[in-house]
Amino acid sequence: MPAMTTGNLTTRLIACFDVVEGRVTKARRFEDNIDVGDAAEIATSVYADGIDEIIFYDILASAQRRQADLLTIRAVAEQVFVPLTVGGGIRSLEDMHAVLDAGAEKISLDSMAVRNPEIIAQGSAEFGRQCIVQSMQVKRVPVHPEIPSGYEVFIDGARQATGMDAVAWARRGEELGAGEICVNSIDQDGTHHGYDLEITRAIAEAVNLPVIASGGAGSAEHAAVAFTKAGASAAIVSSLLYSPRMERTVPVGEIKAELAKRYGLPVRLV
Amino acid sequence: MVCDRPVVGVIDYRTGNSQSVRYALNSLGVPNRLLTSPADLDGIGRVILPGVGAAGTTMQYLSEAGWPEALRTRVVDGDMPFLGICVGLQILFETSEEQQATCLGWIPGTVRAFDGANVRVPQMGWNQVHRASTHPFLAGLPDEGHFYFVNSYYAEPADPADTAATTVHGVRFTSAVARGNIMATQFHTEKSGPLGLDLLERFAKTPQEELCPR
């Protein structure tokens, strides 16, 4: 039985930027992206407010078969002194070197890892397990023998079903050498109704890696239950921080204060 | 303005995150240069060895470029202040369980894997760092401060006096090392927010006689 404890680590709040041409956008269920603002400016602002980490997805790089936007990655990395994970358009070790050279700490592999699982093993051997984040887009489907968890992995911006079971894919990723798993719920993405606790918990129990809950946060309470009930080590809170679709966005510091005060969770305060 | 501050060299060995360290130094106004080979050490006053790689791979790349000998001459035989970060701390020891690597051996001891039966591995996130020595590098460090860790392995110095700080992840382990002019942190100082920048600034700007006790 894998350990459920993250030891003495604080809970982590992560801002996840879906970037298009240097601008942060916000989607709902992986569609209808609307413009939020300049990536470097938003990064600087959430850093000052105490964000623990930033994930940068170049959401068009993969479809356009080009490398991630190194200039924007660099502009963010120059001003933000918390960990930066980059995903999108990464097909080879050379691509990984390029984004790490631009200032990233971690590489996020998603659709590309489904197409070529060996890329997880290669990245892990070259940079260490801790450098490789296995990110997956999951959707609730009827339980059947191929999908015993009732959650299927999708790729290419949630457009393409893979026939793979989400929990089995997470286990496989751990075996291949992933160091962290980001579980993006397609159903919950951008809804502000809370994370999909069921699949987050199923994966957190199936692997011994830190798991990031992603998709659906609309309040500090949503993040709190992802930590306490689903075993997540980190939670992505993008909409909450800056989505124009939210009635009221909330600064990171305020979310953390509530996590600490109301739920007794360990947080890093700045 | 006359700039008499030492230039900090940041070693680039293919798998390190040298750019992140340089961005942090730039934000602190610290003159710095990327070092791609030992020949670049001319004019460098202090040196940082960053790291995100695996220990064995890191040692292989460093050895291919001739770094172990060049650094030994300047840092171990000489008095150049040295800061290792993450895997840059681990390779200071004799051996690592990661890829069964033989390391630099500047500090007696070994590097072991965290036991995944007790806690999630890798340790990934913000953890508290507690001072454990009087070495000036960590002077002024707040005792409850959080720093960013990303590691599956941790150092076990043979001599407890080399441990400058400790952190708990399943076990209490050495999260910073300091011996004279050799300093190293298991956490990523360059990615630990304002507290991490404070430490980098301390390494880069403190006068040598104050930073490196003999």
pLDDT of residue B8: 98
pLDDT of residue A155: 94
Band the pLDDT of B18: cuts 50, 70, 90.
Answer: confident
Q: Is B118 in contact with A5 (Cβ distance < 8 A)? A: yes
* Bridge pairing between strands A53-58 and A84-87: parallel
Nearest to B154 by CA among B200, B120, B122: B122
Domain assignment present for A106: yes
pLDDT of A226 strictly over 80? yes
Reported for A36-41, long-range contacts at CB under 8 A and 24+ positions apart, including other chains, are A36/A242, A36/A243, A36/A244, A37/A242, A39/A72, A39/A75, A39/A76, A40/A72, A40/A75, A40/A76, A40/A78, A40/A79
For the domain that residue A47 is a member of, what is the CATH number? 3.20.20.70
Task: Kindly list the catalytic residues of B.
Answer: 86, 188, 190
The C-alpha of A179 sits at a distance from chain B's nearest C-alpha, in angstroms, of 6
Domain assignment present for A4: no
Nearest-angstrom CA–CA distance, A170 and A114: 11
Q: Which residue has the higher pLDDT, B132 or B4?
A: B132
Band the pLDDT of B4: cuts 50, 70, 90.
Answer: low
The C-alpha of B201 sits at a distance from chain A's nearest C-alpha, in angstroms, of 13
Q: Determine which of A127, A131, A174 to mutate to test the interface with B (most B C-beta atoms within 10 Å).
A: A127
Residues 69-108 of B with CB under 8 A from A: 87, 98
Identify which of A3, A50, A210 has the shortest CB distance to residue B117: A3
Q: What is the mean pLDDT of chain B?
A: 93
pLDDT of residue A3: 44
Per-residue pLDDT of B58-115, as tens digits, reads 999 999 999 999 999 999 999 999 999 999 999 999 999 998 999 999 999 999 999 9
Per-residue pLDDT of A141-182, as tens digits, reads 999 999 999 999 999 889 999 999 999 999 999 999 999 999
Q: Is A97 in contact with B190 (Cβ distance < 8 A)? A: no
pLDDT of residue A248: 82
Domain assignment present for A5: no
- Burial classification of residue A253, based on how many CB atoms lie within 10 Å of its CB (0-12 exposed, 13-18 middle, 19 or more buried): middle
Nearest-angstrom CA–CA distance, A208 and B121: 7
Chain A residue closest to B117 (CA)?
A3
Go through the domains of chain B in sequence order and give each one's CATH number.
8-211 (3.40.50.880)
pLDDT of residue A1: 39
Three-state helix/strand/coil letters over chain B:
CCCCCCCEEEECCCCCCHHHHHHHHHHCCCCEEEECCHHHHCCCCEEEECCCCCHHHHHHHHHHCCHHHHHHHHHHCCCCCEEEECHHHHCCCCEECHHHEECCCCCCEEEEECCCCCCCCCEEEEEECEECCCCHHHCCCCCCCEEEEEECEEEEECCHHHEEEEEEECEEEEEEEEECCEEEECCCHHHCHHHHHHHHHHHHHCCHHHHCCC
Domain assignment present for A108: yes
Q: Is B19 in contact with A103 (Cβ distance < 8 A)? A: yes
Answer whether B192 touches A (CB < 8 Å): yes
- Count: domains in chain A: 1
pLDDT of residue B3: 53
pLDDT of residue B158: 98
Domain assignment present for A2: no
Tokens of A193: 């109704």
Residues 2-61 of B with CB under 8 A from A: 14-15, 17, 19-20, 23-24, 26-27, 52-54, 57
Domain assignment present for A7: no
Q: Is B146 in contact with A79 (Cβ distance < 8 A)? A: no
The C-alpha of A60 sits at a distance from chain B's nearest C-alpha, in angstroms, of 25
* Bridge pairing between strands A12-20 and A23-28: antiparallel
Range of the domain at A200: 12-263
Sequence-ordered alpha helix ranges (H) in chain A: 39-49, 70-77, 93-101, 111-115, 118-127, 166-176, 197-206, 220-228, 238-242, 252-263
pLDDT of B149 strictly over 50? yes
